[in-house]
Structure formats: structure tokens, C-alpha cells
Chains A and B, each alone.
Chain A
């Protein structure tokens, strides 16, 4: 074995390990990739938050790209995310539906009156069963569902203007383009 190989091997090994650990620093262990990506959205059928007599189901998502946002009034980060959703709703670029997760109906309705309502409609998931089916483990979470009802993207944590601009909207446009 040539001498330089002998001396370089530990250096290369060290750099490889350092690179691996450095990458680990920038990963958020709380962001667990969802196994539901590219799978049909889990079926659900719940009452609507504002109209308890009307059902909202994933059939309502068919035929358009949908942003499905999981939120609750007890969720602090949802409060910081809310203005971003309001602004996105104003652009009208994507239909925003909500899953009101383990919340109280009155509290959630008041929240929407007070801070504005970016949602086309909200499904009211009082016991969190639908949340479990969607693999929700922390609010807020946001799913992008395509026209065929397939989950294309999941964002864990609050949406920001940057994330909407750089991740959400490009994906929505791309999905709308593919279906023609």
C-alpha cells in the first residue's frame, strides 16, 4: 500500500464522519417523514365545524388540488401560522380545507370569527380518530392532496410565507399542470 494512501485513509474517514455528523446537526428529529406520501388520502367523514349537520369527507377534495391543514385552538404554533393561511386564502391559488383536531366546537368557531376564516370548510375531529388515520402527531400539520385524492406532500410545523412561496405554491402549480 503506497504510503500516501496509508496517511490519507484516516483523514478521509474523519472527513466522511464529520460530514455525516454535520448533516445530522441540520436535521430536525421531530420531522418524521410520513409514509402516507403518494398514497390515497385516508378516507374520513366528519361533521363540518360551522355546519354540524353537513358532512365533510375526502370526496370533497376530488377534482382539485387541496391544502388540508390540521389545527386546533389549543395549538400555539397554529396561531402564528394563521396569518399565513389567511394570506394564502386571499390569493385563491389553492383550496384550503381544515381538520379541527381534538378541539371544542365553540372555541374553534370563535377563533375563526376573531382571526378570520381561511378555510373553505373544516372537518371537526373531536376525538382525533381522523388525525390518527392521517398520521398526525403534532399540530399544525399541512397536507397537499392532488386532484385524484393522493397525498403529495406533508409539512410538519407552522407554515411560513417562505415555505408557502418556495414549497407549497410551486407544488400546487406543478400538480395543476399535470392534470391538464
Chain B
């Protein structure tokens, strides 16, 4: 898809100059700089999806940083700002997806697989413990014992 390729190319271009792109905000007033930086690092830029708002130099990321700054300036707390963004863009803007029925697989799936794996491991180990049959015939066993020197008879 041409659109996709173009956007990828733009993302790469933007990434190259990303460090230069961050706008300067005035943190002397209401807005705590550390809180601002922490918040924009947790929000995904929907244009360059593998970048956070803090990293992205996409046009939309500029606008959203401005928006986040202004909301903070108005005295909104982090959950309120996150709600503002999620209402518009969905859970996808969050790097840390919320726990709810549609994300149960995401959160509990790996643990379910881990438990399944442990159960299978225990079963397999127990089964092996019970196995006495080595799979060798009597003749092969005798030869093997000889090779290993268990027999003590070196004459053959």
C-alpha cells in the first residue's frame, strides 16, 4: 500500500531528526516537567506506532503534546488526561493496556501457558521415572554391559 510506505518513510525521516523536534514548554508555572515527561512517554503516537508521544516528531504528536501540556496547565490529573486521549483514540494510545475482559487473554494468557507447561513437564518427568524398559533387546543389553565394562568379562 502506497500510503503505508509513504508513512513509513516519513517516520524514518522524522526519527532521524526526532531529538530536534521537541517543542519547548514553560515549566515554571502549573505544569510539573517530570510529570509531563513521564506521561508523554506512556502514550503511543498513532502515526508512528512504535514511538511514544515523547519520541515522535509526527505532526499529530506535536499537537497531542500541546494538548497534554494545556490539560495539565488547566490542573487535570493524569487519569483525566489519559481518559481524554482514550475517549478519542482508544486503548491503543496506552503502552500499558488496562485490565478488562477484552484484554484478559493478553494479561493472563502467558500465565495460563506457563501453568500448562509446568503441568506437562511434571507429567512427562513422572512418566519417564516409571519407565524401566530401556528399549534394548537382551542381546543388545549384554553387549552394552560388556562395552561399559559392567560384566567384568574381557575375554570376548
Contacts and interface: CB of A to CB of B under 8 A. Distances in A.
Interface in A30-61: 30, 32-36, 42
Interface stretch (A87-95, A107-115, A133-141, A163-171): A133-141
B88 A35 contact: yes
B90 A32 contact: yes
B7 to A, nearest CB: 7
Contacts of A28: 1, 4
Interface string B1-17: 11110110000000000
Interface residues of B, number: 21
Nearest to B64: A132
B40 to A, nearest CB: 15
A152 B145 CA distance: 78
Interface in A119-137: 127-129, 131-135, 137
Contacts of A34: 90
A128 B7 contact: no
B114 interface: no
Contacts of B88: 35-36, 42, 132-135
Contact of B4 (A30, A36, A134, A135): A30
A5 B27 CA distance: 65
Nearest to A29: B49
B63 interface: yes
B32 interface: no
Q: How would you classify the secondary structure of chain A's contact residues: helix, strand, loop or mixed?
A: loop
A158 B3 CA distance: 9
A3 B111 CA distance: 28
A12 interface: no
A122 B79 CA distance: 34
24 contacts: A28-B1, A28-B4, A30-B4, A33-B90, A34-B90, A35-B89, A35-B91, A36-B87, A36-B88, A42-B88, A76-B2, A102-B59, A128-B59, A131-B63, A132-B63, A135-B88, A135-B90, A137-B47, A137-B89, A138-B7, A138-B46, A138-B47, A157-B3, A158-B3
